[in-house]
Amino acid sequence: MTTRSETQTTLDHLLTEIEHRNPAQPEFHQAAHEVLETLAPVVAARPEYAEPGLIERLVEPERQVIFRVPWQDDQGRVRVNRGFRVEFNSALGPYKGGLRFHPSVNLGVIKFLGFEQIFKNALTGLGIGGGKGGSDFDPHGRSDAEVMRFCQSFMTELYRHIGEHTDVPAGDIGVGGREIGYLFGQYRRITNRWEAGVLTGKGRGWGGSLIRPEATGYGNVLFAAAMMRERGEDLEGQTAVVSGSGNVAIYTIEKLTALGANAVTCSDSSGYVVDEKGIDLDLLKQIKEVERGRVDAYAERRGASARFVPGGSVWDVPADLALPSATQNELDENAAATLIRNGVKAVSEGANMPTTPEAVHLLQQAGVAFGPGKAANAGGVAVSALEMAQNHARTSWTATRVEEELADIMTSIHTTCHETAERYDAPGDYVTGANIAGFERVADAMLAQGVI
Ligand code: NDP
């Protein structure tokens, strides 16, 4: 039997090879390190996982598609963006994962997101594989007509790679209900099929699931609550800092408030807002979802309790809980040190990989409960899978039913991560628990299905 340290040496070699084979993809390297650095105990304990080629296959996407997306702006000028879809692993079901429209998107970013998605989707216990896609298109400041033309051009290539049994995209940064509508319309037009299950995050009247917009934020708060319960506390009366002001942030704030916590911040790329009375969600939704404005408008209209801090770090605001809900690597070592100094008890990731590896290490060393995104924000994709189930049965469930299912799934993910961490001598380490539990499920399916 190989020891843990021999196994770790093998995994370290593989990580070096991953860096060589995938140059200039730092986010993908970071995501691969994060997972492979926690797998030694399970690979050493279960010899079948040391089978040559298993982990090598897991880190290599099954398919990567890169395509040109030409479109015309309102002045009639032709613009050209780049589109991506990485179909990473389908051992557990059709590829499933969102589309991101943001200028920072490149192949490495989509691969990091797709890789994370494999383990996240496995943790939900539902039959979904891992994938991700997007474009370097920036929807900020674009008219509805421009966004529609872009989405139509994007789908004109993407449609041939997706399908309800093949690959099912959803939203992510820059892709919300409006974009999913345009994408679905073009898919329907090209294929002449009413195939509701090809995209999730659809509108309520045409195949969308109730609670899908809320699911990621609500689920993350439920995960944070479960971590707090392990420490003998609940969310009542706790102060929370939340970053971002998009889909995930808004519904994180909504659920925190419903459970008695005081969410005092939100942010966007221009800066952050602190509101001592707690964020007024009606005002934030009006500014962000209706007017598509910036967060400084919130402070201007809210009155004396709120102030806008241009630039700066939202993590400077003292709080019991921190829920990063904007983007990758937004919470670094310095921010973690500040949070710890201010007495933070739990950090739960609504965004994907928002906490740098150094910051995670610091938080865990300080005894802060840390919920990694692949577990804590899995509620979104879980309800997407419930949307697929409703589409398949041509039915729609009540909000209560979807919310109960979401709560059960989040409880089960928390328990799985907690128990798996204990089983592998890492009590309280949700990173190890999530990685190993997700890995076991995918690896078992891959082994059973042979070398493909
Ligand atoms: P949205 O586009 O709705 O909101 C994103 C928010 O984050 C905006 O406030 C945006 O500000 C801010 N943001 C994005 N990029 C940056 C950046 N580089 N610097 C500073 N601020 C930034 O996206 P979502 O809420 O859907 O997604 C947020 C995070 O949650 C992402 O990491 C996503 O992968 C993750 N996630 C989302 C799920 C979902 O169901 N939507 C599911 C699971 C995870 P600005 O407008 O100024 O750019």
Which fold, 64-121+129-195?
Answer: Rossmann fold (3.40.50)
- Give, using CA atoms, the residue closest to atom 29 of ligand 1: 351
Question: Any idea which residue has 């009639």 for tokens?
Answer: 76
CA atoms 173, 176, 179, 183: torsion sign: positive
Residue nearest to atom 19 of ligand 1 (CA): 269
User: Comparing 64-121+129-195 with 215-376, is the CATH topology the same?
Assistant: yes
* Ligand 1 site, residue 225, Cβ cutoff 6 A: no
216 within ligand 1 shell (Cβ under 6 A): yes
- Domain made up of 215-376: CATH architecture: 3-Layer(aba) Sandwich (3.40)
Nearest residue CA, atom 5 of ligand 1?
246
Is the minimum distance from the CB of 265 to ligand 1 under 6 angstroms? no
Pull the structure tokens for residue 124: 């939900």
At residue 440, φ and ψ (nearest 5 deg) are -55, -45
Domain boundaries, the chain: 4-59, 64-121+129-195, 215-376
Question: Any idea which residues carry the catalytic annotation?
Answer: 132
CB distance 173 to ligand 1 below 6 Å: yes
Sign of CA dihedral 13, 90, 407, 240: positive
Indicate whether this model's pTM tops 0.95.
yes
Task: Copy the structure tokens of residue 168.
Answer: 């099912």
CB neighbour list of residue 206: distance below 8 Å, 6 or more residues apart: 184, 196
Ligand 1: residue whose CA is nearest its atom 38: 172
Q: Is 269's C-beta closer than 6 angstroms to any atom of ligand 1? A: yes
Q: What is the pLDDT of residue 2?
A: 79
C-alpha 172 to ligand 1 mean position (Å): 7
Cα 355 to Cα 420: distance, rounded to the nearest angstrom: 22
The pLDDT of residue 1 is 65
Q: So what's the pLDDT on residue 86?
A: 99
Largest CA distance in the chain: 67
Mean pLDDT, 10 residues at a time, the chain of 452 residues:
87 97 98 98 95 96 98 98 99 98 98 98 98 98 98 98 98 98 98 98 97 98 98 98 98 98 98 98 97 96 96 97 98 98 98 98 98 98 98 97 98 98 97 98 98 96
